[in-house]
A and B are shown apart, each in its own frame.
Chain A
Amino acid sequence: MSDASAPTIFVVDDDDAVRDSLRDLIDSVGLDVATYPSAHAFLDVYDNAQRGCLVLDIRMPGMSGLELQERLNERGSSLPIVFITGHGDVPMAVEAMKRGAVDFIQKPFRDQELLDRINLAIEQNRRRREAEETKQDIAERVSSLTRREREVMDMVIQGKANKVIAIDLGLSQRTVEVHRSHVMDKMRARTLAELVRMNTTLEG
C-alpha cells in the first residue's frame, strides 16, 4: 500500500472463496485491489492517507463490519465503505448508512452493480480528497498573511470600501491599498469574487 495517486479497493471478507473472487472481479476491470480475511487484519495495516474505498462484509466472526466502520470513524478515516449484506441484514445496512457508509449491496448481486458502487465510492473519495487539499492550500496562504493584511482581507470580504477600511483601522487609504494588493498576491486571487470563494471554501 502506498499513497500513489491510483486508488486501491480494500476487500474485507472472511470467506476465502468470496474474497478471492472479489479480488479477481475487481482486478479484471483494472483496479488495484487488496484483500483481508478479517477486520483486524485490515486495521493492522490501515492508515488515513490511503485512498480508494472499502468493500466490507457486514457479518464476520470476531469484529463485524459495523464494528470496523466504527473504529475507522474513530480514527477520522474518510475511506468510503460499500457494505455487502446478506438476505435479512437490511436493518444492519441502514445502521451502517446512518454512520456514513456510502452504499450497501445485497447478495446475490450483479457484478456491474458492485463495480458501479465501487466507482462511485472512488469518485466520492477523490472529490473529497481534492476538496480537502484545496482547503489546506487556502489555509496555508491565509497563514502567510501578516496580522494587518488579515484584518484588511476580512474587511474586504465583508464588502467594505478602501476608504471605510482606512477610517476603521486608522490608516491612510494609500496604506490600505498596498495591504490589499499584498493580500491578493499572497492569496493568488485575481478578483474579489475569487477571494470571497476561497473564504467560503475555508469556512465550509
Chain B
Amino acid sequence: MALQTVSTRPSITDERARLTEAEFSALLDAAVDGIVIMDADGQIEGFNASAERLFGFSPEEVMGRSVNLLMSDPGPSEDEGSLVSYLRTRQPDLVGNSRELVARRRDGTTFPVELAVGEVRAQVPRFVGIIRDISERKAIERRLTQREEELRLTIENAPIPIATVGLDGVVLSANPSFCKMLGYAQREIGRMSFRDFTYPDDLPLTVTLMEEALRGEGDTYSYQKRYVHKDGRVVHVVLHNGVVRDEQGRPVMIVVQVEDLTERMQAEEEAREHRERLAHVDRLNVMGEMAASIAHEINQPLSAIANYTNAAFRRVSAGRLDGEKLSASLTKIDEQAQRAGEVVRRLRNLVKKRESQRELLDVNDLVRESLRLAEVDARIHDVVVEVSLTESPSCVLADPVQIEQVILNLLRNAIDAMGMVPKEESRLMVRTDASENFVEVSVCDRGTGITKLDEQHLFEPFFTTKVAGMGMGLSISHSIISAHGGRFWFTRNPERGVTFRFSLPKATESLV
C-alpha cells in the first residue's frame, strides 16, 4: 500500500538529491516496522502498511488525528512521557534515540513498542516515528526474569550445597547450604578459592579432575573428596560438577553441587558399631556355650605336657634318662604347648573386641579354622562332621573373624539341632561351592528341622528355640552377611533337617 501523505512536490533542481515519491513510498511500505509521519503537534500525516497491521487502523481513520490516539493512556499533552510533549520540546534525547512506550490498538488493547523518532528538517518540521512491536521480546524478557528468579530461589533454598567456581578456583557464588556446610559467611567464601577449603591430600585429585574437565574431557564429573570446615573438622562429600562454556566452547565456570556424606557416614558408622557390639556379645555368648568343649580342648595338650614332664622326672630320678630320650620328650612338650597356644589364639581372635576389617581371604581357610573350634563340640555331642571344600578359587573380601563367627554359629546350631537324633544318624555336612560371582558356604544337618511358625521369626534378634540360647546368632549372622554384600538363607532338606547357606561376592581376579 502506498504511503498516504500530504505531498509537497520537490522542485526539479532537487530531483537528483531526493528520493522520488515512488521510491519513498516503496521504501516505507517495505519497512518491517510501523512508520508514522506527523507534524510538530503530533498530527498524523502518514501511516505505512506495517503501522496499519500493528494498530488495526486504516490510514484514513488516523490521518489528521493526534498521534496520542495510538498511545496508551496519553494523559494531558503536557505530561512528561507523552509523545506529543516530546515532539513539542524536541528533546534531543528522544530524537535519534529509541524509547519504550505502551501503544494502543484500534480495539483498545495495548502492547509494548519501541519508538524511534527522526526529525525532518524543513520549513515546516516533521517527525518520523518508527514503531516496533516488542511484545515478543518483552515476553521473552519476562520469562527470562522469571526463570532467573526461579533459579535463584531454587539455589538459595536448596538443601544441597551449590556453588560456582571460576577457572582460577575462586568462588563466584555459593548458596547458604554451601556456606553452612563449611561454616563460612557468604561474604567470606566469596573471597576464597576451593584450595582454601579442600583437604590438602585431596587437592591434587581435585586439580587434575578440574583440568581434565576444562580440557573438554567430559563436561560433568563426579568424585568423592574431603573439605575442611572452618572449625577444622573434615567434611566428606561427593561433588557433582558441570563445566559452563561460552558460545565458542571456552570454559567459563564450574557449577558445583555437593552431596554431604557426613550424616550418611555417621549413620553407617553407628550401624557398624552397633553391629560390631552385638557381634562381640554373640561371640562371647558362643564362647560361653562352648566353655566345656574349650576347657577340654585346652586340657588335652596340658595333660599331655604334664604326662611327658612327669615321665621325664621319673626317669631322671631313676637315673634312666639319656639325652636322646630327653630331647624327644622336650620336642613333644613343645608341640603340645604350641597346640594349647593355638587354641588360645583362636579364642582370643574371636573374643577380642575389634574394628571390622576387610581382607582378601580364602573361604575354605575360614571354614577350616571354624571347624577346628567346633570339632571338639561335635565330638562331645557325638556328631560326625563331613567336609567338602571346593577346589575352584573361592576368595572373598571379608572380615575373617565375623565370617568365622557366622560359620561357627551355623555349626553350633546344627550340632544342637541333632541333640535328640540317634547317634548313628548324627552327621552334619559342611560344603563350599564357587559360582561365577559368588562363593557359597552351606551347613546341612539331619536335625529336628524348623517349624513354619519359627521360620517367620528366625532372623529376628532374641528369637530362640533353645533353652539356654540368647537368640542372637542367626540375627547377627544375617546382618554380618548382608553387610558383606552377601545373602543368608536356609532350605529344608528333602529327607530331614535343614541346610543353612550364605553366599559372599567373589573377589575379582584383579584383586587376587
A residues within 8 Å of B by Cβ?
15, 17-18, 20-22, 24-25, 27-29, 59, 61, 64, 86-88, 107-111
Please list 16 pairs of residues, one from A and one from B, whose beta carbons are closer than 8 Å in the complex, sorted by A's number: A15-B304, A17-B300, A17-B301, A20-B304, A21-B332, A24-B307, A24-B329, A25-B314, A28-B310, A28-B318, A59-B379, A86-B296, A86-B299, A87-B292, A109-B303, A111-B307
B residues within 8 Å of A by Cβ?
292, 295-296, 299-308, 310-312, 314-315, 318, 329, 332, 335-336, 339, 379-380, 382, 384
By a CB distance below 8 angstroms, the chain A residues around B296 are 86-87
- A59 near B299 with CB under 8 A, answer no
- B306 near A111 with CB under 8 A, answer yes
What distance in Å separates the Cβ of B371 from its nearest Cβ neighbour in chain A? 14
By a CB distance below 8 angstroms, the chain B residues around A59 are 379-380
- A18 near B382 with CB under 8 A, answer no
A130 to B314, CA, bound (A): 31
| Partner of A15 from B300, B308, B332, B335 at Cβ < 8 Å | B300
A110 to B307, CA, bound (A): 9
Closest residue of chain B to A114 (Cβ to Cβ) is: B307
By a CB distance below 8 angstroms, the chain A residues around B312 are 28
Given known pairs A17-B335, A18-B304, the reply for A108 and B311 (CB within 8 Å) is no
Q: Besides the contacts A64-B382, A87-B295, A108-B299, what 11 more A-B pairs have beta carbons closer than 8 Å?
A: A17-B304, A17-B335, A21-B304, A21-B306, A21-B332, A24-B311, A25-B311, A59-B380, A61-B384, A86-B296, A88-B292
A25 to B315, CA, bound (A): 9
- B301 near A28 with CB under 8 A, answer no
A178 to B329, CA, bound (A): 70
A2 to B372, CA, bound (A): 40
A61 to B329, CA, bound (A): 27
By a CB distance below 8 angstroms, the chain A residues around B379 are 59, 61
- B308 near A24 with CB under 8 A, answer yes
- B308 near A21 with CB under 8 A, answer yes
Closest residue of chain B to A17 (Cβ to Cβ) is: B304
Given known pairs A28-B312, A28-B314, A29-B314, the reply for A21 and B295 (CB within 8 Å) is no
By a CB distance below 8 angstroms, the chain B residues around A22 are 307
Closest residue of chain B to A112 (Cβ to Cβ) is: B310
Given known pairs A86-B295, A107-B299, A111-B307, the reply for A20 and B332 (CB within 8 Å) is yes
A18 to B384, CA, bound (A): 21
- A25 near B307 with CB under 8 A, answer yes
Given known pairs A107-B299, A107-B303, A108-B306, the reply for A17 and B339 (CB within 8 Å) is yes
A25 to B302, CA, bound (A): 14
- A25 near B310 with CB under 8 A, answer yes
- B315 near A28 with CB under 8 A, answer yes
What distance in Å separates the Cβ of A113 from its nearest Cβ neighbour in chain B? 11
What distance in Å separates the Cβ of B426 from its nearest Cβ neighbour in chain A? 11
What distance in Å separates the Cβ of A140 from its nearest Cβ neighbour in chain B? 42
By a CB distance below 8 angstroms, the chain B residues around A20 are 304, 332
- B306 near A18 with CB under 8 A, answer no
A27 to B347, CA, bound (A): 35
By a CB distance below 8 angstroms, the chain A residues around B295 are 86-87
Closest residue of chain A to B293 (Cβ to Cβ) is: A86
By a CB distance below 8 angstroms, the chain B residues around A18 are 300, 303-304, 307
By a CB distance below 8 angstroms, the chain B residues around A86 are 292, 295-296, 299
Q: What 10 A-B pairs come out closest when comparing CB atoms?
A: A21-B307, A111-B310, A28-B311, A17-B304, A21-B304, A24-B311, A28-B314, A25-B311, A25-B307, A21-B308
What distance in Å separates the Cβ of B431 from its nearest Cβ neighbour in chain A? 21
What distance in Å separates the Cβ of B197 from its nearest Cβ neighbour in chain A? 64
- B304 near A108 with CB under 8 A, answer no
Of B300, B307, B312, B329, most A-chain CB atoms within 10 Å: B307
Closest residue of chain A to B329 (Cβ to Cβ) is: A24
A81 to B380, CA, bound (A): 21
By a CB distance below 8 angstroms, the chain A residues around B311 are 21, 24-25, 27-28, 111
A9 to B346, CA, bound (A): 36
A15 to B307, CA, bound (A): 13
A53 to B291, CA, bound (A): 32
A108 to B310, CA, bound (A): 13
Closest residue of chain B to A14 (Cβ to Cβ) is: B379
A15 to B379, CA, bound (A): 11
A20 to B329, CA, bound (A): 11
What distance in Å separates the Cβ of A40 from its nearest Cβ neighbour in chain B? 15
By a CB distance below 8 angstroms, the chain A residues around B335 are 17
A70 to B125, CA, bound (A): 142
- B292 near A21 with CB under 8 A, answer no
Of A15, A25, A29, A107, most B-chain CB atoms within 10 Å: A25
A161 to B270, CA, bound (A): 104
What distance in Å separates the Cβ of B381 from its nearest Cβ neighbour in chain A? 10
A108 to B318, CA, bound (A): 25
What distance in Å separates the Cβ of A67 from its nearest Cβ neighbour in chain B? 10
Given known pairs A28-B312, A29-B314, A87-B296, the reply for A21 and B382 (CB within 8 Å) is no
Given known pairs A27-B311, A28-B311, A59-B379, the reply for A17 and B306 (CB within 8 Å) is no
